[in-house]
Amino acid sequence: MAPVGGGPRPGGGGVLAVLYSFPFALGSPGIGFTAWNQANELVRAGVDVHIVAGSVEKPIEGAASVRTTLTVRGRRVPHRAIGRDRAMRIHDVVTAGLVGRLLDGGADDVVHAWPLASARTLRAARRRGIPGVREVPNTHTAHAYEVVAREYASLGLEPRRGESHTVNARRLATEESEYAAAAGMLVPSEAVAVSFLDRGFDDSRLLRHRYGCTVAAPPARDSGGPFTGVFLGRGSPRKGLHTALQAWTASTAAATGRFLVYGLLDEDYAALLAPLLAHPSVEVRGVTSEPMRVLASADVLLLPTVEEGSALVTYEAQVAGCVPLVSTAAGAVIDEGVTGFTHDVGDVGTLTAQLDLLIARPDALAMMSRAAMARADELSWAAAIQATLAAYREAARLVRGSSHAAA
C-alpha cells in the first residue's frame, strides 16, 4: 500500500469526510473517468476526501490523503498479473482496514465504494456506524445479464466470454454481497432504480444521484452540412446499434443525411450488421479521441441502448448541442421533447418517427439544440456532486434511523 501526500485530516467544523474507494485506475478511461470527476468535485466542494484507489492515473489536487493498493514502488500492478479476483480482494481488505484509521465515525463521515471490491469495506463501515454507500454504475447485475443475453439471443449471436455483462455466477454473488452490505446504493437513473425495485429492494435504500460532464466551450457547431446522426460507443448488441441502423435506414434522413458510427465494433456483430452498415448514408468511422468534436458536428445522437446506468455521452451531446434520441434504458437526463427524445428499448418505429420529425422540422431541431446547450451548467460534474452529497445525507439518516430502531 502506497500513501501519497495529504497530511492530517482537517478536523471539526462539520466538514464532511469521505473515504472514496475505487479498486481500478483512478482517472483512466471509462469508469475511472467517472470516479475521478466525482472525487475531484467532492474536493472542490470542500469535502475532506480520503482516496483509496488501485492506482492513480490522474492525480486529484487537494485530497486529504491518497493511498494506492495495487502499486509497488510507484508502479501499477496490472490486475492480470495477480488475477482480478485476487486484486479486488486485496483492495477490499486493505480499504476495510483503513475505515477506522481515516474516519472517526463522526456524524458527517461516509464511505463511498465502487463494485467488486467493497463488501468488507462496507461491513467495516457498518460496524462503526458509518454510512456506507455503493456506487451502482449499471442496472442490477442479474437484470443486466438477463436483458443482454436476451438481446444476443434475439440476434442469433453468442455472448462474448469474459465481458462484464455476460453471465458470471461468481461476479453476481460478489455484487449481491455488496448490495447487502451497503446502507444504500447510489443509483444514477430511474432505469437503474427500477431494476432493483423489481428484485424486491426497499426504495429507501436506492439513493438517487447522477453523473455529469465536463462543461467547457464546445467546438463550434457545424451548420450547413447534411442532416447528421451519430452513434458513439461500443458497437455491441447491448448498445443497440442494430436498432439505430434499422431506424435510420427506414427514415427519410437516410435519403439525404449521413449516419456516422464511432466506436469499436464487435466482429460477429459487425458481420451481422454488414447490410445495414453498407447503406450509402452510413459511415463507419472507428474509435475517436475527440468525442466533443464529433458531437458538435452532428444534429442528433442515436443511442438505443438495451442496458445502461446513465450514459455520459448523453450529457456531452446536450452540451455540444447534439439532440439525444435515446432509449429509456440510457439513463439520460433530458427534458422530453425539449432537449431530446426517448423511446422504449427496441422501438424502431418510434425512433424512426423522431428522425422523420426532426428532418422535416429544422426549426424544431434548432430549438431543441439551443435548449440542450442552454442547460450545460445543470449537466456539469459540479452540479452532479450536489445530488451525490444529498444522497450521502440520506444514507446518514438511514443509518441513524436503523441505529435508533436497534436501540
- Residue ranges of domains in the chain, CATH in brackets: 2-212+383-406 (3.40.50.2000), 228-379 (3.40.50.2000)
pTM of the model: 0.92
Q: What is the pLDDT of residue 160?
A: 85
And the C-alpha cell for 402?
436503523
And the C-alpha cell for 96?
476495510
Q: What is the pLDDT of residue 7?
A: 39
Give Cα separations from 237 to 152, 157, 201, 246, 248 (angstroms).
6, 9, 28, 13, 16
Q: What is the pLDDT of residue 11?
A: 38
What long-range pairs does 393-397 form, CB within 8 A, spacing at least 24?
A: 394/184, 394/207, 395/110, 395/131, 395/132, 395/133, 395/183, 395/184, 395/207, 396/107, 396/108, 396/110, 396/131
How many other C-beta atoms lie within 10 A of the C-beta of residue 79? 18
Q: What is the DSSP string of 31-80?
A: HHHHHHHHHHHHHHTT-EEEEEEEEESS--TT-SEEEESSEETTEE--HH
And the C-alpha cell for 36?
475521478
CA distance 108 to 185: 18
Cβ contact 320:291 at 8 Å: no
The amino acid at 76: R
Non-local CB neighbours of 47 within 8 Å, separated by 6+ positions: 15, 16, 17, 18, 389
Low-confidence stretches of the chain (pLDDT < 50) are: 4-14, 404-407
| β 71-72/75-76 pair status | antiparallel
Q: What is the pLDDT of residue 9?
A: 39
Give Cα separations from 369 to 227, 238, 286, 312, 331 (angstroms).
13, 27, 25, 18, 19
Q: What is the pLDDT of residue 74?
A: 72
Would the CA dihedral through 340, 346, 351, 353 be positive or negative?
A: negative
And the C-alpha cell for 175?
455484487
Residue 191 DSSP SS3: helix
129 burial via Cβ count (<10 Å: 0-12, 13-18, 19+)? middle
Q: What is the pLDDT of residue 4?
A: 44
Cβ contact 343:351 at 8 Å: yes
